[in-house]
Amino acid sequence: MTRTGERADRTWTPLFAAWTVALASTLGALFIGEVMGQTPCGLCWHQRAFMFPLVAVLGVAALRSDGGGWIYALPVAGAGWLVAAFHNLLYFKVIPTAIRPCGQGTSCSGEGMMLLNTVPIPLLSLAAFTLVIALLLVVRRRTKP
């Protein structure tokens, strides 16, 4: 097997795993919004704007076994992580602000917006972005000669 083929084999699994996380997050957000009828808050919308494109970018990269796909996906995931981190800081009242992230529509801090009545949706988003970034860093490390 060629060196390029070996690299492609080593990067496919973390790329596929990152795509799976992005896909599950996207489907979860769509389920909450479209099936449950919960209107996301402004910060949730921004996080969606960064997560949804990752499904396409990571899907194409995994399909092609293109380890270089991390270059395109990492900045998008990083920006989404920053929004998710800010949302969590507001949610857990670490930083006070006059901005209410969940002021309009359904509050993502309500009891109905928790996984198994314990994990809040903003924390799930932060975990998903963190996992995608970690997997992309594995891809980056494996693509180096």
Domain boundaries, the chain: 3-143
Assess whether pLDDT exceeds 60 at residue 28. yes
CATH code for 3-143? 1.20.1550.10
Please, which pLDDT band fits residue 58 given cuts at 50, 70 and 90? very high
Is it the case that residue 82 has pLDDT exceeding 80?
A: yes
* 93 has pLDDT over 90: no
pTM: 0.86
- pLDDT category at 2 given cuts 50, 70, 90 is very low
Q: Is the pLDDT of residue 1 over 50?
A: no
The mean pLDDT value of the chain amounts to 85
Question: Residue 17: what pLDDT?
Answer: 97
| pLDDT value for 122 | 86
Write the Ramachandran bin of 116: left for phi over 0, alpha for psi from -120 to 50, otherwise beta: left
Amino acid making up residue 108 = C
DSSP three-state, residue 120: strand
Which amino acid type is present at position 118?
A: T
Evaluate if residue 111 carries a pLDDT over 60. Answer: no
Distance in angstroms (rounded) separating the CA atoms of residues 33 and 90: 21
